Amino acid sequence: MTEQLEPMPTDWRRALAVVAHPDDLEYGCAAAIAGWTDEGREVAYLLATRGEAGIDALEPEKCAPLREREQRASAAVVGVSGVEFLDHRDGVIEYGLPLRRDIAGAIRKYRPELVVTLNHRDTWGGVAWNTPDHRAVGRATLDAAADAGNRWIFPELAESGLLPWNGVRWVAVAGSNAPTHAVDATAGLERSVKSLLAHRTYIEALTDEDPEAYCRTFLTDHARAEGERFGGRPAVTFELFTR
């Protein structure tokens, strides 16, 4: 029998999800977020870019506001109203102090116990090369969870009113090659389809399939495959780093 994943911790109130692009959370993670907001937990999103380099036929300055709107609509479907965008450039996000500082500032602002991010490793499952944006944001988020708690790292944040927050207990990495924990996706699965579908302009540029059928098939198959290690229930999996 395949080794089973642990259920995610439930003793927390606030989460902040930090990713590079609009749609990063919707490709697999949003069903978990819908379940969390159903339970009365607060979840906010922080996006490093507006995904302005994501649609070949659309120039970045036209693409950015459109994808921002689609991301806000997508978040609302799963009960998330707080959506913030940093001004890093899509496709060329650099891992470094400015990115760590921006994420640490958001962690101080939202004071989450749980931080969620996306696969920070070189590959997806050892078979597909990951993008530099995902690697940079994932790694900077794991680092910023600690930065946020140290008043001597980025002291300019405290000077602008963002006081240290050392309350992050876990960073959960979605899309990891080495998941340790999972959330039952059953209750949130249908809303996760609607949430991904809210990125309609992006999806329509990506595939000739019917957008809704594409979203439903992708997310349902994904949740079912992930669930093989979670008692056979459809699941969203995470690699959990405890602090």
Rank residues 5 and 46 by Cβ distance to Zn ion and give the closer one: 46
Q: What DSSP assignment string belongs to 170-194?
A: EEEEET-SS--EEEE-TTTHHHHHH
- Least separation in angstroms between residue 195's CB and Zn ion is 15
Alpha helix (H) residue ranges in the chain = 30-38, 60-77, 97-110, 132-147, 155-159, 189-197, 200-206, 211-227
CB contact set of 10 (below 8 Å; sequence gap of 6+):
39
Rank residues 54 and 234 by Cβ distance to Zn ion and give the closer one: 54
Name which of residues 79 to 98 contact Zn ion (CB under 5 A).
Answer: none
CA distances from 40 to 33, 47, 187, 239 (A): 11, 23, 14, 23
Rank residues 5 and 172 by Cβ distance to Zn ion and give the closer one: 172
Does 26 help bind Zn ion (rule: CB under 5 A)?
A: no
- Least separation in angstroms between residue 39's CB and Zn ion is 27
Q: Which of 8, 16, 24, 110 binds Zn ion (CB under 5 A)?
A: 24
Does 135 help bind Zn ion (rule: CB under 5 A)?
A: no
Rank residues 23 and 184 by Cβ distance to Zn ion and give the closer one: 23
- Least separation in angstroms between residue 233's CB and Zn ion is 27
Selection from 241, 181, 237, 167 nearest residue 14 by Cα = 167
The binding site for Zn ion (CB under 5 A) comprises 20-21, 24
